[in-house]
Amino acid sequence: MDDAAFSYNGSVKTTGDVMERVNLLISDGNRLFREGLSRILASRRMVIAGEARSLTEILEMLRSGNFPCDLLLCDPGDNEQELATLHEISQEFPAIKSVLLTHRITSSSLETAIEGGANAFLPKDISADALRYSLEIVLLGEQIFPTVQSLLEPRPASVASTELPMMTSRQVPLSTRERQILACLVNGQPNKTIARNLNMAEATVKVHLKALLRKINAQNRTQAAIWGMNHGLPVASVSSGGSAMAMGVHA
């Protein structure tokens, strides 16, 4: 394997620090994109253990025993070899959670990736906050497979590559209450807390929530929260625990 194909930062350990470290490996054919992701995601909690141009190189790194990994962020696209390697990684290193971050993928390739052990599928035009939040959700053991119909179907040449898989904010006429509830979802609040904060009955919250999910074409509150962050709603914290991380994936 070419030495220039990957980098290694090691695993950070701090005596007395109770924060759980997450070792992340990144695989993407674009070096600039890999370096950009590393800078965006690197933190006291998220350690960039290494990066590579392909999952084949990632597998070599894992087999060497020199690259600790809890989370794998990759873009196999529709490459059969890459998808096969993703399956190998899942079989040999079942504790590693794999997240696909890609522009487009065929339905058959997506199905292969899921069968191969992928824990989540995210579009590359996701916001940085939404990406961090999504990775935390995956680390909790959840699977995230948003509505990806627009990614599975051929797009007209006039459609920009930055189009979101779910409806854009300009296409969605949200009421004031729906926007308030969406902001609460982004910050991980359960229905009971939302009802108390907005001074309404919990049953009323559920009615607004169902309408909100239908409008933005989201299947659950996790997808709604990610949609909200992609459209500018701030998130209080995605790694502080508590309600922000206790949010379920069903409305």
**Last residue of one domain, picked from the residues 152, 183, 206:** 152
Q: For residue 84, how many other CB atoms are within 10 A of its CB?
A: 15
**Into how many domains does the chain fold?**
2
Same domain, 123 and 182: no
Higher-pLDDT residue of 184 and 238 is 184
Instruction: Tell which of 98, 118, 152 closes a domain.
Output: 152
Q: Name the residue range of residue 94's domain.
A: 3-152
Tokens matching residue 50: 């290494």
The reply to whether 143 and 22 lie within a common domain is: yes
Of 244, 25, 225, the closest CA to residue 130 belongs to: 225
What single DSSP character describes residue 117?
Answer: T
Q: Is residue 76 one of the residues assigned to a domain?
A: yes
- Amino acid sitting at position 69: C
| DSSP H or E segment with residue 24 | strand 22-27
Same domain, 62 and 184: no
Question: How sure is the predictor about 75, in pLDDT bands with cuts at 50, 70 and 90?
Answer: very high
Q: Which sign does the torsion angle of CA 233, 216, 124, 62 carry?
A: positive
Question: Do 58 and 142 have their domain in common?
Answer: yes
Same domain, 224 and 188: yes
* Better pLDDT: 195 or 115: 195
How far, rounded to the nearest angstrom, does the alpha carbon of residue 191 sit from its chain's CA centroid? 23
Based on the domain organization, do 121 and 207 belong to the same domain? no
Same-domain pairing of 124 and 177: no
Tell me: do 15 and 136 sit in the same domain: yes
Q: Which of 53-62, 80-89, 98-107, 174-183 has the highest mean pLDDT?
A: 53-62
Residue 162 domain flag: no
What CATH number corresponds to the domain at position 234? 1.10.10.10
- The answer to whether residue 189 is domain-embedded is yes
Q: Is the pLDDT of residue 144 over 90?
A: no
Residue 161 has pLDDT above 60, yes or no: no
Whichever domain contains 140, its CATH number is 3.40.50.2300
The pLDDT value recorded for residue 113 is 82
Note whether residue 210 is domain-resident. Answer: yes
Residue from 119, 121, 117 nearest 106 by CA: 121
CA 164 to chain centre: 14
Report the alpha-carbon distance of residue 148 to residue 171 in Å, rounded: 17
**pTM of the full predicted structure?**
0.60
Mark whether 67 and 107 lie in a shared domain: yes
- Using 50, 70 and 90 to split pLDDT, how confident is the model at 99? very high
Q: Are residues 26 and 95 in the same domain?
A: yes
On whether residue 164 sits in a domain, the answer given is no
pLDDT tens digits, 169-214: 445 667 788 888 888 888 888 899 999 999 999 988 998 888 888 8
Percentage of the chain exceeding pLDDT 70:
73
Q: Is residue 158 part of a domain?
A: no
97 and 219 in one domain?
Answer: no
Does position 71 have pLDDT exceeding 60, yes or no?
A: yes
